[in-house]
Amino acid sequence: MIGGIKVEKATIRANVNDRFWKRYIDVVRNEVVPYQWEALNDRIPDAEPSHAIKNFRIAAGESDGEFYGMVFQDSDVAKWLEAVAYLLEEKRDSELEALADDVIELLGRAQQPDGYLNTYYTVKEPGKRWTNLRDNHELYCAGHLIEAAVAYFQATGKRRFLDIMCKYADYIGTVFGRGEGQIPGYDGHQEIELALLKLYEATGNENYLKLSQYFIDQRGQQPHYFDQEKEARGETKPFWYDGGYRYHQAHIPVREQKQAVGHAVRALYMYTAMAGLAAKTGDESLKQACQTLWENVTKRQMYITGGVGSSAFGESFTFDFDLPNDTVYAETCASIALVFWARRMLELEMDGKYADVMERALYNGTISGMDLDGKRFFYVNSLEVWPKACERHDKRHVKPVRQKWFSCACCPPNLARLIASIGHYIYSQTSDALFVHLYVGSNIQTEIGGRSVEIVQETNYPWDGTVRLTVSAESAQEFTLGLRIPGWCRGAEVTINGENVDIAPLTKKGYAYIRRVWRQGDEMVLHFSMPVERIKAHPQVRVNAGKVALQRGPIVYCLEEVDNGPNLANLFLPRDAQLEAHFEPDLLEGVVVITGTAERVDESAWNDELYRPIEPRTYQVPFRAIPYYAWCNRGEGEMTVWVNEK
């Protein structure tokens, strides 16, 4: 109970008309989804081939050829379909819907009589199903297809895709478990667990909830299933990552895990499922594990941008405070997974720290993975880029410009489905309360206490901290509005119908709880002050010693060579520098930039010397910082988030 409210929340979808996010949704609709459809059909010149649609045609017996691509190539089609579903939910499009229906029918034809659906094993290794769960992503692909099917059913009301995936999930339920003749295993890449939760929520079938529970509970138990499986394959070498299974978060049972380790996306998908299960079942030990892992990730292993997974080796977490800027991995999918986890954590407890991280990742670490026009993508999201250094073997994973496509193309369709579904992250509700997690121009119609309520939200967030909420109720009724007070905000003001409201005594864990009888046309105005802030890293983050980052509201900033010249490492920001923020409508689709005066070391004093015993001379230069998410939209060049401070 928080403020007398039972914290058992359901997310609700908002209609988004926000200037910032509507532009992104339109880009996904008009550019990304069509572009990715062409990519899935291998029609993008000079881009990595996908072959994903062709794989399904081969599996359905409708085309000749061999399987091509990663073992998880099916998941790219699944995520594309899920993005399409969210777009159709926002606005029906008969042509796009017909295309999606055709793909769904193709999946149906590729499905085996017992329900199995995986093109790699159907085409390339028939007869070897479930023989390498550790490496080959069978259940991962199934999970993404399930997520897509749930989204498509909720968007269109059509059951065909859902029925296909229920048949597959029912089959999986007969294969896996602790019963006689069942496989006591789980997938190497977590995903099925969170997908089964969604399938349970959509169908009410408790078998899916129990199956998700099984996969979570079985992970890391002894004797270790991956060892048994390896022995059955005749494999003798130790696992490549560490000789054990930290990579898969399968080294110990999940409730015993205190620190995020291994592959970041796998970890966060698992934590998302754990949080969802804890909320559904009331499992206190699972809840405590989630809370412990949340503190470790967000207070020891997360970048200021909401990026996670600092090492290219294994796309993984490493150890506390190891957050290099130039060799960072910070996969786009990992920030997306952090958003998923944060939303599920809000179902466990209403605490603003979860929504704060969700917002940080949304505005910084996720959308940085795509050009503003939606046609090129980052897999890796570095916080410092020197293009020449990207040629070194230890930095080859860092690209100085976004790519058209990838042979491992998990990130582009993942980002598309996240952006298209943004309306699901703004609000949640209980029987007598509505919570506002994100400040995004939107409107929702819902029922509270059995009566219809509409909320209209108007704002120019994230550039402006003023938010207007208008309530339309069919009759006067009492309920609670829970308003998130952002963690970055040092001063929040609230008025209702023009009268000031003291929110200090009403605020608990980052949410102001305003309970009153709401009437038609009641208007609430929130104002969050948005000064430019200089952010310091924890002293144990060694790479950022003596450096500062700039943030305004939820937006993290960076410096680019195009604005500030080369050798950004030679730029220093004086402690007393005056920083100004102003909106530039014609820059990068309209952004607030930060300007001021910095100092540069005078390189001319060195002549041809490499080292000199001198006090460096400096001179003043203007500088301009832009939002991090928008970097690399004006050509190749240096970039840095953390700036030397003087």
pLDDT in tens, 28-66: 999 999 989 998 999 988 878 899 999 999 999 999 999
Contact between 58 and 65 (Cβ < 8 Å): yes
Task: Give the three-state DSSP class for 348.
Answer: helix
Q: Are residues 478 and 598 in the same domain?
A: no
Domain boundary among 490, 511, 528: 528
* 552 contact partners, CB below 8 Å, separation of at least 6: 530, 531, 532, 533, 581, 592, 594
Per-residue pLDDT tens over the stretch 448-465: 988 899 999 999 999 999
Say if 20 falls within a structural domain.
no
> Does residue 198 sit within a domain?
yes
Residue 442 · residue 14 · CB < 8 Å? yes
CB 27 within 8 A of CB 373: yes
Residues 486 and 635 in one domain: no
Whether the CB-CB separation of 550 and 594 falls below 8 Å is answered with: yes
521 lies in the same domain as 553: no
Domain shared by 230 and 301, yes or no: no
CB neighbourhood size of 476 (10 A): 11
- Is residue 389 assigned to a domain? yes
- Same domain for 255 and 402? yes
Give the range of the structural domain holding residue 122, as residue numbers without chain letter: 48-237
Strands 571-573 and 555-560: unpaired
Query: Which spans in 111-187 are helix H?
Result: 119, 133-136, 138-156, 160-175
Higher pLDDT, 5 or 51: 51
Q: Could you give the C-alpha distances from 559 to 340, 385, 549, 554, 634, in angstroms and in order?
A: 29, 11, 10, 17, 13
Of 385, 402, 423, which residue is a domain's last? 423
Tell me the backbone φ, ψ of residue 308, rounded to 5 degrees: -140, 155
Q: Which of 129, 195, 65, 97 is nearest to 105 (CA)?
A: 97
Q: What is the pLDDT of residue 2?
A: 33
Which H helix or E strand runs over 296? Answer: helix 284-300
CA gyration radius for the chain?
25
pLDDT digits (tens, 9 = 90+) for 580-606: 999 999 999 999 999 999 999 999 888
pLDDT in tens, 525-546: 999 999 999 999 999 999 999 9
pLDDT value, residue 11: 67
Nearest Cα neighbor of 36 from 20, 48, 18 is 48
Banded pLDDT at 253 (limits 50, 70, 90) = very high
Nearest to 334 by CA among 406, 264, 412: 264
Question: Does a structural domain hold residue 10?
Answer: no
What is the pLDDT confidence band of residue 5, given thresholds at 50, 70 and 90? Answer: very low
Specify whether 515 is located in the same domain as 537: no
The answer to whether residues 224 and 166 belong to one domain is yes
In SS3 terms, 592-639 reads as EEEEEEEEEECHHHHCCCCCCCCCCCEEEEEEEEEEHHHCCCCCCCCE
Determine how many CB atoms are found less than 10 A away from the CB of residue 210: 14
Total domains in the chain come to 4
SS3 499: strand
pLDDT of residue 7: 35
Helix (H, G, I), strand (E, B) or coil at 355: helix
Are residues 246 and 372 located together in one domain of the fold?
Answer: yes
What is the residue type of 276?
G
Contact (Cβ atoms closer than 8 angstroms) between residue 630 and residue 593: no
The reported pLDDT for the residue numbered 6 is 32
Nearest 5°: CA angle at 182, between 176 and 185? 50
Q: Per the domain annotation, does 572 fall within a domain? A: yes
Instruction: Classify residue 453: in a domain, yes or no.
Output: yes
Q: Could you tell me whether strands 427-429 and 10-12 are parallel, antiparallel, or unpaired per DSSP bridges?
A: antiparallel
Asked if residue 407 and residue 503 are part of one domain, the reply reads: no
pLDDT confidence of residue 10: 59
pLDDT value, residue 409: 60
Active-site residue identified among 166, 410, 411, 632: 410
Residue 401 lies in a domain: yes
Q: What pLDDT is recorded for position 406?
A: 63
Say yes or no: 519 and 576 in one domain: no
Shared-domain flag, residues 86 and 210: yes
User: Is 489 a known active-site residue?
Assistant: no
| 492, β-bridge pairs | 528
User: Dihedral of the CA atoms 39, 41, 47, 48 (nearest 10)?
Assistant: 100
Of 215, 237, 259, the last residue of a domain is 237
Query: Distance between alpha carbon 414 and the CA centroid of its chain, in Å?
Result: 8
Q: Could you tell me the CATH number of the domain that includes residue 356? A: 1.50.10.20
pLDDT class of 3 with cuts at 50, 70, 90: very low
- pLDDT higher than 80, residue 150: yes
pLDDT at 408: 64
Identify whether residues 161 and 284 lie together within a single domain: no
The share of the chain scoring above pLDDT 70, in percent, equals 98
410 is an active site residue: yes
pLDDT at 8 over 50: no
pLDDT in tens, 465-482: 999 999 998 889 999 999
Tell me what percent of the chain is helix, strand and coil, each rounded to the nearest 5.
40, 20, 40
Over residues 614-630, mean pLDDT: 94
32 within some domain: no
Is the pLDDT confidence value at 393 over 70? yes
Catalytic residue among 229, 315, 331, 561: 315
Q: For residue 407, what pLDDT is reported?
A: 60
**Residue 403 pLDDT more than 90?**
no
CB atoms closer than 10 angstroms to residue 226: 21
Q: How confident is the model at residue 413 (pLDDT cuts 50, 70, 90)?
A: confident
